[in-house]
Amino acid sequence: MKKFPKVLCLILILCVISSISLFFAYANNEKKKETTQTEETKAEVAEGTEVKKPKVSAEKKASPNELPKVPAEWDVMIYLCGTDLESDGGMASNNLEMIKKTIPDDRVNVLIQTGGTKKWDTKERIGIDIATDKIQRWSYGEDGFILEDELENASMAKYTTLSDFIIWSNENFPARKHLLIIWDHGGGSSKGLIVDELHDNAIMGLEGLERALKDSGVHFDLFMTDACLMASLETAQAIQPYADYLIASEEVLPGLGSNYAEWLQSLYEEPECGAARLGSNICNATQIMYAEMADDGSLKGLTFSTINLSKIAPVAEAFEAYMEEAIALIPDPIAFGKYLNAVSKTDRYQEHDMWDLYDLARRGRNGGISKETVLKLENAVDEAVVTSVRGSYHPYSHGLSAFITYNGTTEKLDRFARTCKNPWQLAFLDAVSLKWDAPEWACEVAGEIPQLMPELYTVKFETENSEDNSQQYIHIYSGVESGGSICYEIQKFDEKYQEWHDLGQCEDLKLLDYSDNTLTYSADFTGKWPAIGDRFLHVTTKDIQGNTVLMQASVRLPEINTEKIMKLRILADYPEGLSNQIQEETEAGTEGEHIVQYQLAGLWDGYDSSTGLSDRNTYSMTDLSGLQMEICTPVYSNYLKKIGDMRYADPMTVDLSLDVKDTTLPAGKYRMRYSMSDMLDRTYTTEFVNFTWDGRKAVFEAPVETEEENNTKSVAW
């Protein structure tokens, strides 16, 4: 063996000594750092400050030396703008509670941004204290909800707030597939979605949503609106470049929204699940939830669909062709009247501005739209809608709607024009709107747009009493027979307060005659009215499907809200059908009893007065059990010509034995009028006519004419 030269041995010894010196220097330095950090921590504890900090700041980037995170299978990003849904009803907390019940899997990232509400119920219910004066970002995993980031307060309705959340989620929690959920109010294609009650109830339009998705730079496998009225062609077109599938509701979405506990757990158990399958799971799980809750009102009104956005371009193209043909009918009043009549019963949602596209297409076939165009639109919708669940309130729902209005305000139409991408749809709205013009770009495509003459579709009518004054007839000469509707309203005079109490409306009329283009109706007033016990209800009609009428009665539940008037939902089933067939007049008492069967279907909050949007707070009868409920009766003012104050009956305790029955009204002084709508959704009312009711028979007074009035009315409101 050769020996190493002395010089090499000396160099080797020096290297060893140097390495030992460096090791002790590094160890000493680390000990100093640890001591310093311990002292800082002690100081923080002494000052009472929280030691735990958000893991990642919006500004902070991962160190280049840190190992990159292994991408998860899915990012589930929930943009949770609580607004009054949370501050008044704890609806956002309900869904967070559902999430807490799941058993997470680290192959699925769940990320939540919170803001936009005055109050959170989460501290008591799920153990996390969400701030109202900050934007906060949370993750959910094996350790529960973890605060990951905190920012200064900002409007959740601002597109930059949304895009920043998406960017942050994608950078700090990478995944192969992405689901974005917008949780809040929705108002349809014109009004938009996401309402921030901390920033003057600001609302994000669809153009803002589109900008946010574009600026984020993230492509979504699945985009979901846990909000009302957003399953529209306009929503689909806005997000189509940035997402593969859309999940949304055509109708108002019930308060609990989606079934997070069910579908999120299924995703944890099958993280390799594809977007289309996950979308179907979400829709089906949500329907199952309301069925298992026995929330009949929410279940029957539910619509939820998954839409393949790669198939949305053919839908838009077919709908443009449909609108073009509808516009071509306008110059011929008879042809367009036939069209309006044919589509008048199309399945529509909430304010009747959102129309189901498939149902509109199939009804248009009988209104002058060509068979080819109808089939093209029907087939395109069928191809695009992957899954569609619908309750019995909406038997003609097919999962995708579009915005159409005959008498929208200029403000509403201007908002819609900023969103709409279909020139012929805008041209149609221009044609039927007297005070609004479509934007120039749409006119360049559509050319000269014909203008509707609404006076040709105006309802003309007159009233008269029967010979024995036991009822009042209404003769209608145009309008209603071509697709409009008619009901009658009843008010009772209260001797104690010397005021009229409004009992609401009834759809049950007798069609007595139809000849020479004239309809003659009489109110099928039997002296009975819906009541709970001896408390008569103020009822209005929300929807009619066949022989079933969905009614709403005004009530107040002080334990839920001391000020808000809510809507008790009632299903009225007419086994023999509504009295809308031509029939012979008979003497009182000779006809069989007209029995109506009622079913209580829960409670709905109605409209949000601050935003003008539909409220999502709904309650089943089981939810209400044990609470105190007051029947509300609106007071009608002769001076204001409208509903004024409200009278409240003595409270009753809600239980499952409560039922609604037709009950004979007490003898006294009453008055009645007819209310109609024409094919263009304009409303008409006759003058009130007084009558007395002795418990068995009504006697109507002769209508009083003023100098300004004549016997034929044609004034639209």
pLDDT tens digits, one per residue of 518-532: 889 999 888 999 999
- Burial classification of residue 39, based on how many CB atoms lie within 10 Å of its CB (0-12 exposed, 13-18 middle, 19 or more buried): exposed
Dihedral of the alpha carbons of 645, 650, 655, 659, in degrees to the nearest 10 = -70
Query: How far is Cα of residue 268 from the mean position of the Cα atoms in its chain?
Result: 29
Measured CA distances, 618 to 206, 254, 569 (Å): 26, 6, 10
**pTM of the predicted protein model:** 0.84
pLDDT above 90 covers a percentage of the chain that reads: 65
The DSSP line for 643-657 is EEEEEEPPPEE--TT
675: exposed, middle or buried (Cβ count in 10 Å: 0-12, 13-18, 19+): middle
State the DSSP code for 68: P
Strand-pair partners of 478: 460
Three-class SS of residue 704? coil
Least confident of 8-17, 601-610, 690-699: 8-17
Contact 184, 228 (CB under 8 A): no
Contact criterion met (CB below 8 Å) for 136 and 150? yes
Query: What is the token pair recorded at 667?
Result: 């003898």
What is the reported pLDDT for 366? 95
**Every domain of the chain and the residues it spans:** 72-310, 313-455, 456-700
Higher pLDDT pick, 648 / 20: 648
Cβ atoms of residues 141 and 107 within 8 Å: no
Which tens digit of pLDDT belongs to each residue from 443-497? 999 999 999 998 888 888 999 999 999 999 999 887 544 557 889 999 999 988 8
| Range of lowest pLDDT (327-331, 370-374, 517-521, 682-686) | 517-521
Count CA atoms within 13 Å of residue 488 on its CB side: 25
What was the pLDDT predicted at 610? 59
pLDDT tens for 278-302 read 999 999 999 999 999 888 888 888 9
Q: CB of 429 within 8 A of CB of 404?
A: yes
Given a cut of 80, whether residue 58 has pLDDT beyond it is no
Say whether pLDDT at 706 is over 60. Answer: no
**Of the candidates 249, 109, 272, which has an alpha carbon nearest to the alpha carbon of residue 175?**
109
Give the position of tokens 């011929």. Answer: 332
| Cβ–Cβ under 8 Å, residues 487 and 507 | yes
Region 375-404: mean pLDDT is 96
* Whether the Cβ atoms of residue 529 and residue 662 lie closer than 8 Å to each other: yes
Residues contacting 291, CB < 8 A, separation 6+: 299
Among 28-42, 238-252, 446-460, the minimum mean pLDDT is found in 28-42
Token reading at 365: 């076939």
The gap from C-alpha 630 to its chain's centroid, in whole angstroms, comes to 26
The pLDDT value recorded for residue 48 is: 36
* Identity of residue 597: Q
* Res 61 pLDDT > 50: no
Is 535 within 8 Å of 631 (Cβ atoms)? yes
Q: What is the mean pLDDT of residues 61-69?
A: 52
Mean pLDDT of all residues in 367-374? 98
Residue 2, classified by CB atoms within 10 Å of its CB into exposed (0-12), middle (13-18) or buried (19+), is exposed
The Cα–Cα gap between 335 and 326 comes to: 10
Stated as kind and residue range, the H or E segment containing 115 is: strand 108-115
Residues 650, 644 contacting (CB under 8 angstroms): no
The band of 6, judged by pLDDT with boundaries at 50, 70 and 90, is: low
For the stretch 94-115, pLDDT in tens is 999 999 999 999 999 999 999 9
Q: Is the pLDDT of residue 550 over 80?
A: yes
Contact between 230 and 252 (Cβ < 8 Å): no
Residue 627, both tokens: 């609470």
Alpha-carbon distance of 71 to 67, in angstroms, equals 12
| 93, pLDDT greater than 90 | yes
In this predicted structure, what is the pLDDT of residue 216?
Answer: 98
